[in-house]
Amino acid sequence: MLVSDPPRPNPKLITWARKDAGYSEEQVAKRLQVKLAQVQGWEGTGKPPTVRQLMNLAEFLQRPLSLFFQESPPALRPLAAEYRRVPGVVPGSESPEFRRAVRDMLARRQTTLDLYEELGYDLPEFTLTATTTEDPKEVGARLRVRIGITTEQQRSWRDAWQAWREWRTAIEGIGVLVFMFPKVPLEQARGIALIEKRLPVAAVNTKEFAESRAYTALHEVVHLMLAAANQEQPALAESRSAGEFERLERFAEVAASHALVAEDAFMQAVGQSAPTGVQAVRELAMRFKVSPLAAATRLRESGFWTWPQYNAWRSDWSRQVADLPKPSGFATPVSKAIGRGGRTYAQLVFEALDTNRLTMPEAARALGLRSEHFDKLRVRLVQGSAAEAPDE
């Protein structure tokens, strides 16, 4: 009895999957611990990969094994048609880490949409808009009122971790999904906004300090407000010059800072003499559980500082931040699940699991968490903001 040769993977699909993930042939060879010539052969007319090599390749590129045996690649929207323009990120030339982050968040958003429909819930609507002809201070104040967090609440929070959880929950209450994304350098992206009509996404880099996360999230929400009024387009469609884009970023910064701290409360906290040094600004920021950079932005925008004063302070601050020790320890699987998807998302997945809308393996994939950790996650969700362990 003759045994036929196993089907050969399509070299064009291997090339497409590699490029779509943002990797070079050299990077694939290094990761899979094979010679560069072998990878080039897989994508050409050389010897095909073994079954084990193909499985490793599929895992590395986060693609199903069956993809490599198709005749043509799937028809997918370019990633740059999904996210707002990010300084320094060139549409179509995103890093592998950035691409993976966007794909993961798009998949999580789609899961959320599916679960809302499956569970019979009405989708929360994001109805806020903003235009660049408005005063960004008024835009920020309007966003703050809509979110509903008061100065008294801010001052009552225990620490920056609780502040982040409360802001995150409040932002999700206005119809925006708040996700976090790992492994992308802060220099590349502190935040990402996925521009969608239903359930848009404001995402924050997991490397952000706890006190900076709300400011970054609100910055992305302002971009979503502009997009909702057709004042901003996804990165692929944006045609603003570098100068115009810089002005748009400043608009979002000012609006986010006013959403973060009420003007009257800020003026009262500053008093007659504005702080000047790094430590003094840190103490001011701690009153509202915000980042020193957010407080410095407000000192500039509220007329306490000139631009040269702000730039000098920011230089001093950047040097101090660079000297800070790196956080020790590591995030637990449960903290990662809560951090990346959020408590609302995790609760939605558990409800679908408990009502047999999702199987255990499906819930595990949705949460990015092995089922053996589910009980610990349920406990953390019940504890809410009182949980001591910081979410990633």
Q: pLDDT (tens digit, 0 to 9) for every residue of the chain, 392 residues total?
A: 444 566 889 999 999 999 999 999 999 999 999 999 999 999 998 899 999 999 999 999 999 999 999 999 988 889 999 999 999 899 989 999 999 999 999 999 999 999 999 999 999 999 999 999 999 999 999 999 999 999 999 999 999 999 999 999 999 999 999 999 999 999 999 999 999 999 999 999 999 989 999 999 999 999 999 999 999 999 999 999 999 999 999 999 999 999 999 999 999 999 888 898 999 999 999 999 998 988 998 999 889 999 999 999 999 988 887 776 655 556 789 999 999 999 999 999 999 999 999 999 999 999 999 999 999 999 998 886 544 455 55
d(CA 171, CA 177): 8
Give domain status of residue 6, yes or no.
no
* Cα(353)–Cα(334) distance, integer angstroms: 17
Distance CA 108, CA 113 (A): 9
Q: Based on the number of CB atoms within 10 Å of its own CB, is 378 exposed (0-12), middle (13-18) or buried (19 or more)?
A: middle
User: For residues 357 and 363, what is the distance between their CA atoms, to the nearest angstrom?
Assistant: 10
Residue 4 belongs to a domain: no
Per the structure block, which two tokens stand in for 203?
Answer: 């995402």
Specify whether 364 is located in the same domain as 317: no
Query: Is the entire prediction scored with pTM above 0.85?
Result: yes
Assigned domain for 121 exists: yes
Last residue of a domain, which of 213, 245, 260? 260
Q: How far apart are the first and last CA of the chain?
A: 57
Indicate if 311 and 378 belong to the same structural domain.
no
Query: In the chain, how many domains are there?
Result: 4
* Angstrom distances, CA of residue 203 to CA of 20, 93, 168, 217, 313: 22, 20, 10, 6, 27
**245 and 284 housed in the same domain:** no
Tokens 């490793």 belong to which residue?
Answer: 56
Sheet with 201-205, side-by-side order of all strands: 177-181, 201-205, 191-194
Same domain for 269 and 256?
no
> Which residues does residue 193 pair with via DSSP β-bridges, in sequence order?
202
Contact between residue 113 and residue 38 where contact means Cβ atoms under 8 Å apart: no
Pair (194, 300) in one structural domain = no
What pLDDT, on the 0 to 100 scale, is given for residue 321? 76
Residues 126 and 149 occupy one common structural domain: yes
Residue 96, domain extent: 79-260
Name, in order, each residue with C-beta under 8 angstroms of 251's C-beta and a sequence gap of 6 or more.
132, 136, 139, 222, 226
- The H-assigned helical ranges of the chain are 11-21, 25-32, 36-42, 51-61, 96-119, 136-147, 151-156, 160-172, 210-228, 242-260, 263-270, 278-288, 292-301, 307-323, 333-341, 343-354, 360-367, 374-383
pLDDT of residue 390: 56
